[in-house]
Structure 1
């Protein structure tokens, strides 16, 4: 089953083979229609009929919460706190209006996940860098939100390695690569962009670090130790409640990607380097990690456990070039 309800894209076909292909530089109205984002989130109070009651006119209300539903299909999306601040599909696309018109950004994908409970758009920033052996990395800005309590509205600078389409969030020491607005607060697009403004310079800092990783040669022993530090999980051992176990299956799979099976693994920038270590993890998370479907894997790679795993790999790699 696909999590992707609908989406639009420019350029190459996305990971799941779905979506409406658009020519470059389309209006946001065209994007909204093609991406299935041309509707809005409605609100209604929660009402219920008490169990055992035969009188349907005896309907009670619950003022502390409200129901969110789609304006087009009337399908329910979630039940949330009455104080919950909704972010509309149009706000996700409008966020990019000035960025695409005067900032040199270009929308590449936008769409709806989980019947409308999660919404996202991804734009290329125009920033790019090249490592040894023409290993190109491009900069993107992801904006995503959810209306079911699973995700704060998140604006995140992201890099995409062209040769393998691996994604890696750009979160440096001060974490200016991401701005998160909880749903108890009003989403202010301009305020978010002002906060991200300081992160535009973070691209240069990110590329300096990726180049350092590409120059850092590592031994097979170091590589094995790296993967074993990153690929762990908590156990429920009765002997030690906080025990950490190594995911041996993942260590083997990632080791094979690193050793040459991964896309771009044999490039001079990646072969036997710390950059290769990071990309073995990111390729595993983005394309191979066990998941109920490709869509669930991508959802985790952007927003969930997969994203955390990639960040851990980045942090461990930074220790190798410290």
Structure 2
């Protein structure tokens, strides 16, 4: 397994990224913590540096404005951050779900550690589910992820997974995701996040209403090509990640997926529809977009440029039914 993923665990069918160790269902959080490689703590140490070399050792100075974060098990350094940085422990990510799984019917499906411990997450199914025409099933999930190197705020994201292809998509309405973000400059308050998520998760019906509208919206060939150009080649002037040269390989691939090669592309909900356009992009990002490894693609699809592309695709698709 690549060095990028330290460890991870899952229940049910193998996740879309094809990685991890399988657990039986209804395991306690303590088992998840061990099997997902999250049974360690982030520890802190003051920053020291060597200067004014005298003999073989030199003089050791301190830098009180910064601290080193490191793993309690391997002692491997994770990052250097300011003294104000509020750490969220791997255990806290799993504990976030304890009452949700015990009382609210959530079920953990995957959890793990990326980049040697610099980023970790847990994903739980909420119990929400909907089917588009042709029995195209979409399930609701809640993703909680954080980092200890400043690359990701502690973020709770209502997410959907299309069952036929395991494509993932953050729930978004009116052009904005329903993610709740807690910057590391403030303390992570799980209950406050859950209170905010109560509003976000309740918007499932509104989101799926729009997805049904996409599945009913037939598109012409020129509309499909315009959609893919806009999403993948950043023809929009306000794109957050502009590209000068059109991505011809990506264009050919998403068109191929849309025209029948994609998983679920021939279902009545997706065949020749705006829903099919959206899922051609999400399948490309989640499963096929060029990356150094599957692990890097997963990181991008959830937290990086891949996630931005998927949200751009969602916005473009919703414009077709506006």
How big is the shift at 1:296? 0.4
| Alignment correspondent of 1:295 | 295
| SS of residue matched to 2:201 | coil
TM-score (norm 2): 0.94
Check conservation: 1:176, 1:196, Cα contact below 8 A: no
How big is the shift at 1:18? 3.4
Check conservation: 1:233, 1:245, Cα contact below 8 A: no
How big is the shift at 1:246? 2.4
| SS of residue matched to 2:306 | helix
Gaps of 5+ in 2: 236-241
Aligned length: 315
| SS of residue matched to 1:8 | strand
Runs (4 or more) in structure 1 with deviation over 6 Å come to none
Structure 1 residues 119-146: Cα deviation after superposition (integer angstroms, max 9, x where no partner): 1000000000000111000000000000
| Alignment correspondent of 1:238 | none
Distance in 2 between the 1:199 and 1:283 partners? 25
| SS of residue matched to 2:200 | coil
Gaps of 5+ in 1: 235-241
| Alignment correspondent of 1:198 | 199
Check conservation: 2:52, 2:58, Cα contact below 8 A: no
- Within the alignment, does 1:313 sit opposite 2:313 as a pair? yes
| SS of residue matched to 2:281 | helix
How big is the shift at 1:204? 0.5
How big is the shift at 1:2? 4.4
Distance in 1 between the 2:108 and 2:54 partners? 53
Give the 3 Å change call, closer, same or farther, for CA 135–51 of structure 1 in structure 2. farther
Structure 1 residues 36-56: Cα deviation after superposition (integer angstroms, max 9, x where no partner): 101110000001111634363
Check conservation: 2:15, 2:166, Cα contact below 8 A: no
TM-score (norm 1): 0.94
| Alignment correspondent of 2:252 | 252
Give the 3 Å change call, closer, same or farther, for CA 120–31 of structure 1 in structure 2. same
Matches within 5 A, 1:231-270: 231-233=232-234, 244-270=244-270
| SS of residue matched to 1:198 | helix
| SS of residue matched to 1:31 | helix
Check conservation: 2:145, 2:154, Cα contact below 8 A: yes
| Alignment correspondent of 2:116 | 115
Check conservation: 1:36, 1:111, Cα contact below 8 A: yes
